[in-house]
Amino acid sequence: MGRQDNPGTHGSRQGASGSGAGSGRNRAGASTRNTVRRPARKPGSAVYRRRRLFVGAALLLVIALGLGGFAAAASLLNAGAPSSDGAAAASAPVATPAGTPQATASPSATPTGNGCEQNLVTVAASTDKPAYAAGENPLLTLKVTNGNRVPCEINIGTSQMEFLVTSGSDRIFSSTDCQSDATELVKTIAPGQSETANFPWQRNRTVQGCAPIEAKPGAGGAYYVFTAQLAGKTSPKAVFQLN
């Protein structure tokens, strides 16, 4: 009888062989999968927050630097611009060279005090008689009146006054021609009140500088004019006669 193969045995080998081939393919597939790189994992939300904070901080730094530059430029421009105190500087006192005489206030008949107006202070001239006999000396009177409604301080010293006698264009006499010691006399004159100064004239002539002069004023009924002056204020004329 001939030899018969066992079909079950062949089947087992083939199956085994098949399974071996399958195992080889599986190992190759596993090796291939192991060599392929997996895609990178996306950053988390914490990373995005850190990035946003960094970008925001950088933006703030740029803005601060820009503002600082503007402030520096503005300060440079302001340094070159004229100051608003220029008017005050222009009005400041200017130093005068050494030796320059300085104006100083001197007593005068100008009224002082609150509400005291100079144009309301008047000066008048008068004589004690309208006519004088031979050898009789006239008494010349200067009168200053305060027409203000408030008291006024007025200097009625001899430094401020003049008794002047003229005859036409002829200057006969002035109390300042031979005045050697001028005085100051400041008085407070009440509203509506007056102060007077009297001068007895010796019927003599004078010239400026008080040079000696022998000529005498005329007589025989000649008329003369007396005017009083006080710190630039001139009185109306007072006419009198000498016999």
Spatial distance between the Cα atoms of 162 and 178, rounded to a whole number of angstroms: 11
Q: What are phi and psi of 184, to 5 degrees?
A: -115, 135
B/e letters for 163-192, b = 16+ CB within 10 Å, e = fewer, are bbbeeeeeebbbbbbeeeeeeeeeeebeee
Helix-strand-coil split of the chain, %, nearest 5: 30, 25, 45
Spatial distance between the Cα atoms of 154 and 189, rounded to a whole number of angstroms: 7
Cβ proximity of 152 and 204 under 8 Å: no
The string of DSSP codes covering 16-36 is HHHHHHHHHHHHHHHHHHHHS
Q: What is the mean pLDDT of the chain?
A: 71
Closest CA to 161 of 233, 90, 75: 233
pTM score over 0.85? no
Cβ proximity of 178 and 201 under 8 Å: no
Mean pLDDT value across residues 146-170: 95
pLDDT tens, position by position, 59-116: 655 455 454 544 444 443 344 443 333 333 333 333 333 332 333 333 344 555 568 9
